[in-house]
Amino acid sequence: MTTSFGDLDTLTLRAADPRDKAFAYEVKEAALREYVEQAGGWDDAEQRGLHDRRFRAEEFQIITLDGIDIGVLCSVPERDCVYLYQLYILPEHQGRGAGSACLSMVIEWGNERGLPVRLRVLKVNPRAAALYERLGFARVGDTPTHHLMERDPGVAPRSSESARGDARRTPTPRGQGAGNAVMSTRL
């Protein structure tokens, strides 16, 4: 049974550890495989190798909802931006605001630093691109397979409501950095 996001008390991020590597790959595959297949093909050995390299090199966080791991997030403050490398939510938990809430936290980190948030999204994933656009991202370029998107600090979302249309949920980051952040969403 899937927990309704409307009943959410707290969405949390925790630093991933080596035991989370397999879960992080499972989430990536569940959330992204169909789009990668459309964009040119999913090669499991290639995807696992890429995942292993990134998991070792980047600071992944596990997204939990009511104590259940539901996704992964990897964003890094760089010299000239905060870069969102990965935000994947298990399909059975998509469309309930968890991705919007996590993305809002990344946006806030950028705003606090006075830095834009940058990302890339597969062109064949219009649902994700629409979410980014609703939260104030604009396309700034393209590759053969991806739209490059950026959100300048302080840019307002397209509406005063969250991307889900529920203004009652306001993400509130706590902690000193991405590694120990906790985000509460209040109903």
CATH value at residue 71 = 3.40.630.30
Alpha carbon distance 167, 187 (integer Å): 9
Residue range 43-59, pLDDT digits in tens:
889 888 989 899 988 99
The Cα angle at residue 129 between residues 31 and 121, in degrees rounded to 5: 65
The domain containing residue 66 runs over which residues?
5-184
Q: Considering the chain, what is the average pLDDT of its residues?
A: 80
Check residue 160 and give its pLDDT: 41
Phi, psi (deg, nearest 5) at residue 97:
105, -5
The Cα angle at residue 61 between residues 38 and 28, in degrees rounded to 5: 20
Check residue 168 and give its pLDDT: 27
Is the pTM of the predicted complex or chain greater than 0.95?
A: no
Q: How many domains does the chain have?
A: 1
Burial of 70 (0-12, 13-18, 19+ CB in 10 A): buried
Check residue 159 and give its pLDDT: 59
Residue range 116-141, pLDDT digits in tens:
999 999 999 999 999 999 999 999 99
Residue range 60-84, pLDDT digits in tens:
999 999 889 999 999 999 999 999 9
**How confident is residue 35, by pLDDT bands cut at 50, 70 and 90?**
confident
Among residues 113, 111, 117, 100, the alpha carbon closest in space to that of 154 is found at: 111
Enumerate residues 6+ apart whose C-beta is below 8 A from 150.
Answer: 81, 116, 117, 118, 119, 137, 138, 140
